[in-house]
Structure 1
Amino acid sequence: MKKKIMAGILAAMMTVSMTACGQRAAENAETTAPEEAAETTEAADDNAEEASSEEAAADSDVEYIKNKGKLIVGITDFAPMDYKDDNGEWIGYDADLAKKVAESLGVEAEFVEIDWDNKILELDNKSIDVVWNGMTLTNEVTNSMECTKPYLNNAQVVVVSADQADSVKTEEDAAGLSYAVEAGSAGEQVATEKGFDFISVTSQADALMEVQAGTSGACIIDLLMAGAMIGEGTSYPDLTHTVELTTEEYGIGCRKGSDLAAYINDQLKAMYDDGSLLEIAGTYGVQDAVIDQK
């Protein structure tokens, strides 16, 4: 009899204990469920914000450049736009402007020499972020890149040895010459359009060397480069430019659809307004070619 009474007591105690445990578990679930839900919601919000930030950076070249910490500028060695000083540093009108824009973005400007004929491919592959090198706004360029407004006037000119200058005064005179031109350049385009006899070389500097060496009768280069590179006091004192074959404008090229072009436009206007753009132009003797950015 005693055994039966004890068994009943033990069973009752176990029932009470299990009920209490169930109540505590329910209370704990009620307490932790909102906390866990809040943490899950917060984590989801953080992930969504991060994804949104990454998506914005993917859509914006400006944010992409800020995130990686550098503006990669595609150039050729082309005085007075982009060339190296005695310390091996890139300087020039375009180089100095690019540095100012990079500074406004909070990043460093990195200059990369490119094959001018492959400039569009370099942009599309993101090997560079911008083509900033005295680039003429041709139809090919404006159709393939997001370009800034024009910022410098230029022309394509015929360069010959000084002792031939008197015999090359008109386009008709120029038509009978053999030329060296930079591949992919406005000079190559005008030579093609006018049916001139020409060879294509890697750079405008190489085109000048062809004339200096006598392997080409003439070359076609940018007027602004001619002003800096040929004549008395330069590396090519025996060369001169004669006929202007075209008049044109320089622009800066970004990837198609890029917001960087509009950003650069705003920066150039600000520099024009505060006078620093013309001051930089004066350093390199191109102030008369500057286009009003207002």
Structure 2
Amino acid sequence: MDFQIFHEFVFGFYPGILSILLVGFFVGYLSSFLGIGGGFIYTPFFHTFFHLSAVQAVAVSLAQMPISSLSGLLVYIKNRKVRFKEGFILLLTSIPSAQLVAYKFGRFEETEFGRKLFFGLPVSELAYLFIFTFFLSILGVWNLISAKRKKQKAMLHSLSRDKDVLKEQTSAPPSMTFKSILFLLGVGVAFGATSSLLGIGGGFLAVPLFVYYFKMEPVEAVATSFLGIFFTSFGTSILLYSQGKLHIELALVGTIGGFIGARFGSLKAIHAKPYTILYILGSMQLLVVAWYLVSKLLKILS
């Protein structure tokens, strides 16, 4: 590691190190609060300000997740917020799907078609731009709608004295059935694929599904998602490093800030109102999509 990559930062070497430490802290805090990998910020950040390719940006984003997610995960385990059964079933399919997609996407960037330029950008980058903005926009809108509904239910619960309403709000989570296990395995495939393709950890998909299909509290969904992020990102990072796609020095500096931020974020999430997590998650998704689209359009038009 020679840290020469920090000279590629648009404002210079030392500002590059400082910016990654600060972004790492913010991402660690936000990701542990929301149960996501933080790559929705990291990936476009490295892609834009360090001029990394799409796959390289994803690789660095994923590589800083294991230690950061472990930092928050330990807090959640201590407070008994992790649903291990659902988390480990998710991992059965998320790990292999993440490995497969990472391998294929890494190879696609090196093909003649992947390097072909359209509108001044390689096909691989355009494909990534479309997938990133399309899926993140849908998830952002979905989470905002979900947060509004959960807030309305919370207000109804606080105002109503109807026993049926109280029973509904405090009912025990449903037991695992064969159908729910198959569904969770399918979610694992999508979790792993989005994690390795977009570098976002998969929590954007898993958290709302855990909340509304498996009836978890948002903090439980966040904690269980972190379990998946830790193992999935760790395995995928090793694969991308073996392909020569990972700038380990960038990931190392980001991890330092992320480890500290994740401790604070997980402690905050434990005491947060349920709908607050979903509101912030949806808003951040749409904000990043807007910023990323504008930055790419300016690059195309310049």
- Relative to the length of structure 1, the TM-score reads 0.29
Larger radius of gyration: 1
- Structure having greater relative contact order (Cα 8 Å, sep ≥ 6): 2
- Relative to the length of structure 2, the TM-score reads 0.28
Point out the structure with the larger strand share. 1
Point out the structure with the larger helix share. 2
